[in-house]
Amino acid sequence: MAVSTNYELKMGPATRESFGKALVELGKTNPNIVVCDADLSKSTNTNFFAKEFPERFFQCGIAEANMVAVGSGLSAAGKVAFVSSFSAFVLNKGFEQLRVTAAYPNVNLKVVGTHSGISIGEDGPSQMSIEDLSLACNLPGFTVLSPADDASMKAAIHLAAEHKGPVFVRAGRVKTPLIYPEGTPFRIGGSHELLTGGDLAILANGLLVAEAIKAAVQLDSEGISARVIDLYSIKPIDREAIDRAARECGAIVVAEEHLKDTGIGARVAQVAAETTPCIMEFVGIDNTYAESGTPEAVVEKYGLLAKDIAAAARKALARKK
């Protein structure tokens, strides 16, 4: 799939809302779908499922670790269990249970972390999840997905339900631009090349995919041809797309709403080091926690906008030359 550099990004719903609606769709066709929540159903939007299927909804209270264990037990009993909370809570508070009751026995648990990254805004650093993708990737056997918009989130939830084994899906609080038309195919281990280009490649996921497209449009006006790839599948990652970008472009910028030290930049760099080493720059959160503020102010202060990706691209091209 490729979009034109004249493409206008229209605003869509938050991916947490898309997740909630996808759960209802699944519940109508699969009676084995059950949902566990940690007293945040109105925020995670699992309340949509609770309203439609109250007998299959389990409110576990403010006890994320216990919720993960309950979900793992339901999965072991043959259910397709979705457990959900803010990413910062379900990954950090529930990590031991994710490790022992889900990853180690390889149960069919689906974990959805909402309000991820720093774009949660005013809720502050205690609820900003900047480590979740790395934590999830560190769980053997887990599949990890980070969709960018409404259509890709709905697809990710359906993929998670169909996949046999534990899955983590990352969702956000704020509304996101619409990138994909309904019905766009997605697969575990895949990616989508949204813009073609040969001077460099910008690889992103989640909220920063739209910013990567905006950056490419800006660079195009300067005569720079930037390829944009949505790495929605974090684990397994699309090694072929990364290797092709490294070989054909010779320079890569990775953009993510996550700590640079342990996010997808590290995973992309590992693949490139094993296949085709190339010039790389990284846009993400440096070794810090973010301050509280409006989502717009926070992402600007910590350098997660199109202008920051474009600046990294120019730096990469200067090094390439």
Q: The tokens of 255 are what?
A: 């953009």
Torsion of CA 309, 315, 316, 318, to 10 degrees: 150
246: DSSP letter: H
DSSP notation for 250-284 = SEEEEEEEEEGGGSHHHHHHHHHHHS---EEEEEE
Residue 219 burial (CB count, 10 A): 24
Amino acid in the structure at residue 80: V
For this structure, is 222 an active site residue? no
> Residues 270, 223: contact at Cβ < 8 Å?
no
Instruction: Name the residue with tokens 């793992």.
Output: 72
Catalytic residue among 17, 64, 193, 211: 64
Amino acid in the structure at residue 171: A
130: phi then psi, degrees, rounded to nearest 5: -115, 5
Active-site positions read 64
